């Protein structure tokens, strides 16, 4: 059986005046076959190819699938959900056959599974998610993952930082999600948790160790260069990247985390685990009663807050030291947050207007020239004499120090906006 292209070529050559013998020599077909197709006025009939009907079901969605593949999505479960919502009526097998030639097979690496009784241990880790356009900017994203050892119940949260403050906040959010606290948490040797790990000594970050002790948690550190001992959390991170991160997500950190919580509740924690053969949510019912109570004490104070007024030189007084803010805020009331990494952040309402490292030693003043440039543009007669008076602490008002836990909630709101 000749191909359709060859059929048309025979017709075209004959119309150009070629003899049957010449066409036979050119195409390799015998003279009888050439004469047959010259005299045939309709296209040859071909038997249906195996799988053609199946492929036709996917044809309307191939361009969409190719676009999603370019975006990096190769998870067939995710893609099937998407095209089914668009009207696809075929089965997974057709989709897998289409996708398999585009998917790179990952090198599988086995992980050691340590089984623990209910409520005894959890595993925690950060994972990088790469750069994403989010909240109007390209930002590097990370995901905090805490997984209970017995049930495999997972809590995850996407952040733009892996500093100590975010680490503590994510832990408290996880404790709230589980409505309880495990007795031990296993960590990799991240700098915010482990400051020293040798065969004879393990030293934890003092501030973080105080935080865990506040909730009754004992930290455990993996052996160096052996992250596979956290096999449960490593597996959860891989699942997140292959499934959740390949979905269409809104470019907003708040919306992304809202979608993540829905995914945890409806997909990740309901899917049977390959080792336990049970869904994490089902086993969690047995584990939850063994967790420590976490909400019987006030929230652990992560930040220290104060309130003051910007003086006429654009300075604020914090614990007897002076820090500059943009000069346009002079005379306004501001809030000061001391962070865990020994910096201060100065807020006007929900806007962070300045940040500085804490002054140490005998120095009493820290300024940034950009805080004064705007007044130079407006006032041509300004001189450095006007700035010299900023070194006089007598010009600065006294700072009123008081408990400002409410501002922590405000700053959270600011981060989410």
Is residue 110 one of the residues assigned to a domain? Answer: no
Is residue 275 within 8 Å of 113, Cβ to Cβ? yes
Please tell me the predicted confidence (pLDDT) of residue 402. 41
In a domain, 107, yes or no: no
Q: Which two tokens stand for residue 74?
A: 């190769």
Secondary structure of residue 292 in the 3-state scheme: strand
Q: What is the structure's pLDDT at 318?
A: 93
In a domain, 298, yes or no: no
Q: How many domains, the chain?
A: 4
Q: Which residues contact 363 (CB under 8 A, 6 or more apart)?
A: 321
| pLDDT tens for each residue of 48-72 | 544 445 556 788 888 888 877 877 7
Together in a domain, 16 and 87: no
Q: Are strands 218-221 and 184-187 parallel, antiparallel or unpaired?
A: parallel
Cβ pair 129, 158 in contact under 8 A:
yes
Q: Are residues 357 and 383 in the same domain?
A: yes
266 and 134 within one domain: yes
Per-residue pLDDT tens over the stretch 260-279? 999 999 999 999 988 888 99
Q: Is pTM beyond 0.75 here?
A: no
Residue 139, Cβ neighbours under 10 Å: how many?
Answer: 15
Domain boundary among 220, 255, 290: 290
Residue 64: the pLDDT is 84
Tell me how far apart the alpha carbons of residues 417 and 403 are, in angstroms, rounded to a whole number.
24
| 319 three-class SS | coil
In sequence order, the 6+-apart residues with CB closer than 8 A to the CB of 380 are none
CA distance 231 to 209: 23
Same domain, 181 and 273: yes
Range of the domain at 65: 52-99
What is the number of helices (H) and of strands (E) in the chain? Answer: 15, 14
Q: Which positions ≥6 away from 396 have C-beta within 8 Å? A: 311, 313, 315, 316, 317, 322
Q: What is the pLDDT of residue 132?
A: 93
| Residue 131 belongs to some domain of the structure | yes
Residue 169 in any domain: the answer is yes
* Confidence (pLDDT) at 395: 41
Q: Which residues of the chain have pLDDT under 50?
A: 49-52, 105-112, 227-228, 382-407, 410, 413-417
If asked whether residues 127 and 93 sit together in one domain, one would say no
Listed residue (193, 189, 220) closest to 208, CA to CA: 193
């Amino acid at each position: 059986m000749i191909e359709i292209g060859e059929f048309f070529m025979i017709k075209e050559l004959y119309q150009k005046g070629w003899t049957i013998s010449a066409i036979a020599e050119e195409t390799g077909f015998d003279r009888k076959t050439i004469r047959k197709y010259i005299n045939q006025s309709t296209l040859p009939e071909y038997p249906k190819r195996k799988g053609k009907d199946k492929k036709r079901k996917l044809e309307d969605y191939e361009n969409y699938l190719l676009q999603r593949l370019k975006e990096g999505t190769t998870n067939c479960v995710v893609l099937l959900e998407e095209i089914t919502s668009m009207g696809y009526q075929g089965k997974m097998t057709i989709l897998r056959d289409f996708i398999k030639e585009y998917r790179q097979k990952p090198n599988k690496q086995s992980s050691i599974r340590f089984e623990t009784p209910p409520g005894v241990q959890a595993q925690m880790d950060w994972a990088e998610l790469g750069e994403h356009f989010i909240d109007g900017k390209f930002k590097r994203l990370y995901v905090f993952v805490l997984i209970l050892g017995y049930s495999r119940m997972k809590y995850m949260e996407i952040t733009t930082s892996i500093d100590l403050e975010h680490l503590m906040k994510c832990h408290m959010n996880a404790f709230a999600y589980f409505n309880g606290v495990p007795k031990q948490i296993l960590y990799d040797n991240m700098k915010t948790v482990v400051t020293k790990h040798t065969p004879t000594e393990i030293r934890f970050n003092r501030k973080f160790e105080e935080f865990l002790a506040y909730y009754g948690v004992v930290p455990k550190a993996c052996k160096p260069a052996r992250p596979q001992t956290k096999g449960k959390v490593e597996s959860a991170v891989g699942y997140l990247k292959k499934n959740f991160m390949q979905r269409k997500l809104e470019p907003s950190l708040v919306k992304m985390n809202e979608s993540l919580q829905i995914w945890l509740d409806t997909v990740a924690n309901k899917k049977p685990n390959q080792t336990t053969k049970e869904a994490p949510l089902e086993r969690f019912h047995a584990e939850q009663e063994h967790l420590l109570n976490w909400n019987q004490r006030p929230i652990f104070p992560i930040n220290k807050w104060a309130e003051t007024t910007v003086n006429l030189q654009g300075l604020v007084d914090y614990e007897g030291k002076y820090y500059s803010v943009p000069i346009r805020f002079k005379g306004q009331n501001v809030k000061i947050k001391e962070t865990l990494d020994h910096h201060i952040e100065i807020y006007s309402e929900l806007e962070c207007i300045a940040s500085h490292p804490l002054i140490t030693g005998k120095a009493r003043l820290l300024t940034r020239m950009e805080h004064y440039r705007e007044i130079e543009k407006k006032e041509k007669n300004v001189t450095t004499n006007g700035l010299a008076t900023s070194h006089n602490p007598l010009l600065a008002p006294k700072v009123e120090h008081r408990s400002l836990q409410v501002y922590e909630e405000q700053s959270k709101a600011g981060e989410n906006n």
